A and B are shown apart, each in its own frame.
Chain A
Amino acid sequence: MSAATAQRSTIVERLTKSWLYIGLIGIGVVSFVRIITDTDDLTGAGTIRAAIIATCPILAAALGGLWAERAGVVNIGLEGQMILGTWGAAFFTYHYGPWVGILGAALLGLVGGLLHAIATVTFGVDHIVSGVAINLIGAGAATYLAEAVFPEYEGGGPRQLNGLEAPAQVTIPGVSDLANTISDQHWFFVSDVASVIQALTTNISTLSLLIFALVIISALVLWRTSFGLRLRSCGENPQAAETLGVNVYLYKYVAVLISGALAGIGGGFLALVASSGFSTGQTGGRGYIGLAAMIFGNWRPGGLLAGALTFGYTDSLRLRDTQSVHSLLLLVAIGLLMFAAWRACRKQVKGALVVAAAGALVMAWFLLTDSVPREFTVMTPYVTTMFVLALGSQRLRMPAADGKSYRRGSAG
């Protein structure tokens, strides 16, 4: 007992320590790049705030994907469920205020999840086919419902409903002001940390906090409870789970419903926090990005958080300041070179050389140009996220029975 506890605590210690080091080094590098390239926007509180807002809907969708795929159901219907969520958030917020609105977003997303669950779990439809159908249905249903309902509302039209009340924002008075003062000094390291703190303590939406909390809750439920263990067993080996008395259908249903609800909340965030209203097509493929972040995040909460944050950060950075994308090149180059050094230390010579070559190329690009062509800047979030996550997670392992159809009694 005591030995096990001791062992666990060292693992926890080691993990938190390495995360701490990585975090500290990361901030240091970003700060260094900020000073070298003289782009204060790189870690300005405004950028961080925009990054958080851009991250949240992707993160919610990615979490939704995590729940479904951990139970063995591929959910590419996230986009459709998200679209349903935007409509649900708008409708319920208009009538009952923002918190009911978020529940409404979750409810509509859940309906999308239910459709997916019925098709894939009960009827064994190919997960991709069903997911595509959910995306079409979600977009069609939201357009139809908006045209049918919103034109009569105040601030509404056939394609939009504006002026929705947002969930409350939180500011921690003393901390926020202090952090603001420090970040304005543009000191090395300290100011960068201060702007992150400032963004987290100034006018941050409670819904953002909720979504970040949901990552932790999901991680705990899926990896620290027997319910989570059973759910994951349905994604790894449903036949084995069945022989142990797990009701696989039930667990898959629960997982896909939660998945839809989370995607719906992501849609709700778009309608309530990222902007102040519903408009058709406002998800703009964020559900797919969430799915990609989840896959590159190796079907793990920490990984998908990193993916969503990278995407959100780079996307808001290129929207706010196209010049800063050029500074991002240096950041990527340094990151790659450091990664190469780390690999060299571990005697992985071949891998180290490849990464170092990539790093040198990006560095050359940075040094030889003054700006990145506009056509490339839109790609920044995609390219960077791919770089970071492809390097970070060399060995992706999806749940063993992910996407496979399961029939009760197939264990024989």
Chain B
Amino acid sequence: MRRLTKLSAVAAVAALALAGCGGSDSKGGGGDKPAAGDDVCKTADGDGPKIGLAYDVGGRGDRSFNDSAYAGLEKAVGEFDATCIEGEATDGEAESAREDRLRNMAENGATAIVGVGFAYSESVNAVAPDFPEVNFAVIDGFDPDDQANENVAYLGFAEQEGSFLVGVAAAEKSKSGTIGFVGGVNNELIQKFEAGYTAGAKAAKPDIKVEVAYIQESDLKGFGDPAGGKAAAAGEFDKGADVVYHAAGGSGSGVFDAAVEAGEGNWAIGVDSDQYLTATAEQKPFILTSMLKRVDVATYDFAKSVDAGKPLTSFVTYDLKQDGVGYSTANKTAIDGLTTTIDDYKAKIIAGDIKVPTKP
């Protein structure tokens, strides 16, 4: 029995060590990442504000959220003569590791700190009260308690408006009169995507049919299940849909696979970042467009507000008007004929002629 206890302790420690060391190593190897060679934070030495950027898992080189945030940072550094420091989260890290990262930045003189991703909401809430002179922002963030922090901004996006535009694109592109939507988890956030998408499609073609599927009802693993995404999307393609939009995070690659298998004339629409750029060569021709969340715009805008001495606080929503959401035109041959129609709707939403619903 003693031996058993000892061994299981060794096994448990080994497991924890292995699970934990992913991050430290990747920081060491950060120089190998495609875009990390010319890090603006290493060369910037202006006397403007010091911006701290705390990345979500993946860090720079993910060609998604984190890279987009970096693009905003780069612009801000160039424009405001600022300096910056960066830090990166690792998969499955403890809440305290995030807090330490933020604290470290604040103690090193950062005056504007951006946490990329809602996962920073709790840690910012814990750290912000200790540094009242520092301004914090959380991309996609929420306030975990009912005590408002005066130096924290929660930068959200009007996902329904971006989804509306890709809904228009889907309806215009569809020849069968049926389009599809695959959500990762059936929660309020993802329902915003569905609502906007459906509204956009119906606005463009009132008699269009929208097939809706969610991979999970409440379990967050629905965002990391490509096999489930593929099965759900394949079901919609089988039911006659020829354009499928996904808001399913990592499960989305399965949706693209399903479009590839459905063959020419079928399309998939990406989400969050321009997924045409990150998709595989085989998937690329099938990606009609992507609904963009402009994390770069939000990051830049927050830095700008701090530089101007009027830091953003509380909840800020980036919508079409601020260019906070949008759609991608990277797959030119696919989207070319549709942009005028989509831009018409965009103008109408900005003008307030169309109110996009947030609930399906």
Contact = CB atoms under 8 A, between A and B. Distances in A.
Interface string B207-237: 0000001111111010011111111101110
B308 interface: no
A282 B231 contact: no
A125 B230 contact: no
A162 interface: yes
B7 interface: yes
A125 B11 CA distance: 11
B94 interface: no
Interface stretch (B54-62, B162-170, B293-301, B315-323): B54-62
Interface residues of B, number: 63
B189 interface: no
Contact of B7 (A123, A160, A320): A123
Interface stretch (A99-107, A149-157, A175-183, A301-309): A149-157
B250 interface: yes
Question: Which of A144, A155, A275, A281 gathers most chain B CB within 10 Å?
Answer: A275
A322 B212 CA distance: 9
A158 interface: yes
A139 interface: yes
A316 interface: yes
A320 B224 contact: no
Interface string B1-30: 001100110011011111111110110010
B18 to A, nearest CB: 4
Contact of B253 (A123, A143, A162): A162
Contacts of B14: 133, 137
A54 B253 contact: no
B282 interface: yes
A275 B91 contact: no
A139 B19 contact: yes
A160 B11 contact: no
Nearest to B17: A140
Contacts of B226: 274-277, 279, 282
B229 A275 contact: yes
Contacts of B33: 151
Given A130-B8, A151-B61, A136 B19 contact: yes
A160 B91 contact: no
A282 B19 contact: no
A125 B18 contact: no
B240 to A, nearest CB: 11
A157 B257 contact: no
B253 A277 contact: yes
Interface in B241-285: 250, 253-254, 257, 278-283
A162 B225 CA distance: 13
Question: Which of A284, A316, A377 gathers most chain B CB within 10 Å?
Answer: A284
Contact of B250 (A133, A279, A316): A279
A163 B29 contact: no
A129 B22 contact: no
Given A133-B8, A319-B235, A279 B213 contact: no
Contact of B32 (A130, A151, A270, A274): A151
B238 interface: yes
B25 A274 contact: no
Interface of B: 3-4, 7-8, 11-12, 14-23, 25-26, 29, 32-33, 57-59, 61-63, 90-92, 186, 213-219, 221, 224-232, 234-236, 238-239, 250, 253-254, 257, 278-283
- Would you list the 7 A-B pairs with minimal beta carbon distance, nearest first? A320-B235, A163-B280, A140-B19, A275-B226, A136-B15, A133-B11, A274-B227
Interface of A: 41, 44, 46-47, 49-50, 53-54, 57, 119, 123-126, 129-130, 133, 136-137, 139-141, 143-144, 147-148, 151-152, 155, 157-160, 162-163, 270, 274-277, 279-282, 284-285, 315-316, 319-322, 374-375, 377-378
